[in-house]
Amino acid sequence: MLQKTAIVFDQIYVLVLRDFKLKYNSTALGFLWSFLVPVLQSLVYYAVFNSVARFGIRNYLLYMLSGMFLWYFFSGAVTMSLHCFPGNATLLKKTAFDRSLLVFSRLLTELIHFLLIIPVMFLLMLVYKIVPGWSVLTMPIILLEFFFFTAGICYALATLNVFFRDLERIIGVLLQAWFFMSPIFYHLDNLHGKLRVLVMWCNPISCYMEGWRNIFYDPVWNWKLLAIGVVPALLSWLIGYGIFRLKCDKIAEQM
């Protein structure tokens, strides 16, 4: 049992290390791009929405960045998952190993990027003179919920993309729509009626973003959001991983 566990950890380590090398191959700044891209995009939205739309959100840059970093973890994991199996066709056909590790390693790679950026959020809190509250203790819970929510979607898309290759193009469009349907650069209070209901209750990411901002932007202990977040996380994981287990034996044949 211990030997099998050691082998699995070794495989995960090799795959994650490979993903890091592939992602930053031939780049001068390397990991810094994981920080610079969301920051630069946030500055663009800050310039547009702070001067034109004027949502009236205090500490607007901190508000956007807290949501942007979380979104980049999600969108990065989803985008990378689409290439998990097609990009490893030779490995799938010639090697016998747990195929779920290909998706898991991509998720872990994006999670490591995300965790390394968290100190930047505490630095921004210092800049804006925001004192961390007890809500910081909810960080592991929110991360765990959001990880399983993202993992379920990634396993489902990685599997389905093997059988329906048009999915890559469709997901690109859907991610863009999902981005604007998430409260990244606007507050839920800016929405009214059916639109508010749609964004808050039909978009699970809204729940995780509000919980995440309760740590960095407006430190508040909100158990209600934590409880709500369990439901989409479990549903996403059960459905997504279920799809993978149902089709995993046919993946190599389809490549």
Question: For 138-197, how does the pLDDT look when each residue is reduced to its tens digit (9 = 90+)?
Answer: 999 999 999 999 999 999 999 999 888 788 889 988 998 899 888 888 887 777 777 777
Task: State the pLDDT at residue 24.
Answer: 62
Answer for the pair 111, 73: CB distance below 8 angstroms, yes or no. yes
Rounded to whole angstroms, the Cα distance separating 84 from 76 reads 13
Q: Kindly tell me if the per-residue pLDDT of 52 is higher than 90.
A: no
Q: Kindly tell me if the per-residue pLDDT of 69 is higher than 80.
A: yes
E-strand ranges in the chain read: none
Question: pLDDT band for position 109 (50/70/90)?
Answer: confident
Please state the pTM of the whole predicted model. 0.86
pLDDT tens digits along 181-232? 888 888 877 777 777 777 777 889 999 999 999 999 988 888 888 899 999 9
Q: Kindly tell me if the per-residue pLDDT of 62 is higher than 70.
A: yes
Instruction: Give the tokens for residue 182.
Output: 């998430």
Task: State the pLDDT at residue 185.
Answer: 82
Rounded to whole angstroms, the Cα distance separating 37 from 22 reads 18
Q: How far is CA 211 from the centre of its chain?
A: 14
Instruction: Give the tokens for residue 195.
Output: 């639109």
Rounded to whole angstroms, the Cα distance separating 77 from 73 reads 6
Q: Domain ranges in the chain?
A: 2-254
How far lies 92's CA from each of 98, 209, 220, 248, in Å?
Answer: 10, 36, 47, 11
Helices marked H in the chain — which ranges? Answer: 2-23, 32-48, 60-81, 89-94, 100-127, 139-163, 167-180, 193-201, 204-216, 223-254
Where is pLDDT greater, at 241 or 6?
241
Q: How far is CA 49 from the centre of its chain?
A: 24
Q: Kindly tell me if the per-residue pLDDT of 112 is higher than 70.
A: yes
Q: Kindly tell me if the per-residue pLDDT of 94 is higher than 70.
A: no
Q: For the chain, report the end-to-end CA distance as a whole number of angstroms.
A: 32
Amino acid at 141: I
Task: State the pLDDT at residue 240.
Answer: 95
Residue range 29-48: average pLDDT?
Answer: 66
Task: State the pLDDT at residue 54.
Answer: 53
Answer for the pair 241, 234: CB distance below 8 angstroms, yes or no. no
Task: State the pLDDT at residue 3.
Answer: 60
